[in-house]
Amino acid sequence: MTKVCPETGERTLQEPVLTVSTDVSFASNHFPTYTLGPDNEIVDEPKEDEKGPSVKETVEEESQLLSDQHKRLSVRDLASKFDKKLAAAVSLADEAKLKEVASLEGHVMLKKLRDALEYMRGRTDGQNKEDVEKAISMVEALAVKLTQNEGELIQEKFEVKKLGNFLKQTSEDAKKLVNHEKSFACAEIESARAVVLRLGEAFEEQERSSKASRAQGPDVEKMVEEVQEARQIKRMHHPTKVMGMQHELHGLRSRIQEKYMNSVRLHQEIATIKRAEESKSCPFVLESTQSLGSCLKIRVNAPDNAIDLSNCSIQWYRAACETSRREAISGANQVVYAPEPFDVGRILQADILSNGHKVTVTTNGPINPEAGLQSRIDSLMKKSNSEFSVVISQMNGQDYASRSHVFTVGKTRIKLSRGWITKAREIYSTSMQLCGVRGNIKAPAKALFWQPRKSLTFTLTFESEQERNTAIALARKYAFDCNVTLLGPDD
C-alpha cells in the first residue's frame, strides 16, 4: 500500500514577519481541526467557536466607550463655577452702592438737623440754649463718625471692584480655553467615531465574503492595523487636558482664597490697633494670655482712678466675632474668668457697670487652643475609660473639705469615687451639665462644674489646667456619640 500525502516544499521566508498587537483578540486561540480529502480538499469544515464576541458586539462596545469619553470631556460645570463667583462679586458691589446711597442720605439729614438746631439756638436763651448747643455738638460728632464710615466704605468698595474685575477676567479666559479645548476634543472624537464605523463596515463586509467564498478568514494584517489606529485615537482622548485645566482652576481658587485670608488678617490687625488705642482711654483692661488654660482678670487701667471693682456689676459674654450676636455666660459675673474648650475660637467680652456707666472690655482676638491638648485627647480616646485625680471643692454650692478622689470619664457614663466609695455615677443624659467654673473659687483654671443630675452638683479641682480641659473635651466627645450635648447652665 502506498501512502499518499500532499506535496510540501521547503520555502525560505524572505519577508519580515509582521507582529500582531496584544490588544487584538481573535475568535479562537487554537488552530482549526479539519480533514484533507482527494486533491487536497477540506472534507470536514471547521466549526466556528461560539465563545468569542461577535463583530456587532465589538463595534457597540467601542461606540459606548467613545460616548462615555465624550461625556467626561464636558466642562460646563467648570465654567458655571466662575459665573457663580462673578455673580457673588456683583452682588457685593450692589450692596456697596446701597450703603453709599444710605451714607449720602445720612449727610443730608444731619445737615438739615444742624440747620434746624442753629435756627433754634438763635431764638432761645438760658438753659434751652445750652441744650441746643449740646445737641449741635452731638450732631457734628455724628457727622464726623459718618464721614469715617464713608471712608471705610469707599475702601471696601474699591477692594470689591478689584476682586470682581479679577474674577471677570479669569472667567473670560477660562471660558475661551474651555471652548477651544472642547471643540478640539469633539473634532477628534468624531474622527475616531468615523474610523470605528469604517472598521465595523469592514468587519461586516469580511463576514459576507467569508460566508460566500468559504475562504480561510479575513485579512488579519489589515484588521490589526485598523484596530491599532482606533485604539491609538482612543488613548489620545484621555482627559489629560481637562485635568490640566482643573489643576489651573484649583490654583486660581487657592490664590483667591489666600488673598482673602490676607485681607481678613489685615482687618483683624487694624481692629487690634483700634482696640489698643481705645484701651488707653478705657478705665479697665484684661490681663493674662488669652488662650485656653489661662485665667482672664479685669483690673483698673489707671492706678490713680479710684474705682472699686467689688462695687461694680460684671457680666461675661462670648461671641463668634465682634460683629456677631453675643451670648451671655450664665454665672460668669466675677472679676476673673477661666476660658474652657467651648470658648476656643470665640471672642470673650465683659460688661462692667460702674456708677451708672457701662464699659465693655474685649479680648484682642479669639481664644487660642492649648498646646498639646488635642494629642492628649486622641491618645485617651483609644481607651475605654480615663481617670483623673481631683479634689471636691464644693458640693451643692457649699464648701466641702475632702481628700483626693478619682473622676472617671467613660464612653457611656461619668463616675466620681474614692476607693470603693462612689460619690456619683450617671450615664450621659440631658439633665447632666459639665463646664468650667464660673463662680468665685480658688484656681478657677483648674476647676470644673459638674451636675450629674438635678439637685446634685460638684465643683472639682484638678491637678493642672490641661487635665481639667482634657476631661471637659473628652466627656463632651463621648456625650456627643450618645446624642447628648454636654454644656454648662443656659449654654
CA–CA separation, 183 and 181 (whole Å): 6
Lowest mean pLDDT among 71-85, 220-234, 321-335: 71-85
Whether residue 387 contacts residue 407, with contact meaning beta carbons closer than 8 Å, is answered with yes
Whether residue 405 contacts residue 391, with contact meaning beta carbons closer than 8 Å, is answered with yes
Q: What average pLDDT does the chain have?
A: 78
CA–CA separation, 173 and 432 (whole Å): 58
Residues 386 and 461 in one domain: yes
CATH code of the domain in which 434 resides:
2.30.29.140
* Mean of pLDDT values over 4-25: 44
Residue 4 lies in a domain: no
* Mean of pLDDT values over 414-442: 91
- Asked which of 176, 201, 226 is the last residue of a domain, the reply is 201
- Asked which of 157, 177, 201 is the last residue of a domain, the reply is 201
Residue 185 lies in a domain: yes
Q: Where do the H-state alpha helices sit in 124-239?
A: 127-213, 220-236
- For residues 119 and 236, which has the higher predicted lDDT (pLDDT)? 119
- For residues 298 and 308, which has the higher predicted lDDT (pLDDT)? 298
User: Phi first, then psi: what are they for 68, rounded to 5°?
Assistant: -65, -40
Q: Give the pLDDT of residue 2.
A: 45
Residue 195 burial (C-beta neighbours within 10 Å; 0-12, 13-18, 19+)? middle
Residues 191 and 95 in one domain: yes
Q: What is the pLDDT of residues 213-259, one digit of tens each?
A: 655 555 667 777 787 787 777 666 655 666 667 778 888 888 888 88
Q: Give the pLDDT of residue 75.
A: 55
Residues 90 and 186 in one domain: yes
Residue 33 lies in a domain: no
CA–CA separation, 305 and 283 (whole Å): 8
Residue 31 burial (C-beta neighbours within 10 Å; 0-12, 13-18, 19+)? exposed
CA–CA separation, 352 and 312 (whole Å): 6
Q: What is the pLDDT of residues 248-268, one digit of tens each?
A: 888 888 888 888 888 877 877
Residue 451 lies in a domain: yes
Residues 92 and 194 in one domain: yes
Residues 439 and 328 in one domain: no
- Asked which of 320, 335, 362 is the last residue of a domain, the reply is 362
| Domain of residue 331, residue span | 282-362
Tell how far CA 454 is from the center of its chain. 39
Whether residue 335 contacts residue 368, with contact meaning beta carbons closer than 8 Å, is answered with no
Residue 263 lies in a domain: no
Residues 419 and 465 in one domain: yes
CATH code of the domain in which 135 resides:
1.20.5.440
Q: Give the pLDDT of residue 10.
A: 43
Residue 247 lies in a domain: no
Residues 91 and 145 in one domain: yes
Q: What is the pLDDT of residues 379-409, one digit of tens each?
A: 999 998 999 999 999 999 888 888 899 999 9
Domains held by the chain: number:
3
pTM above 0.85, yes or no: no
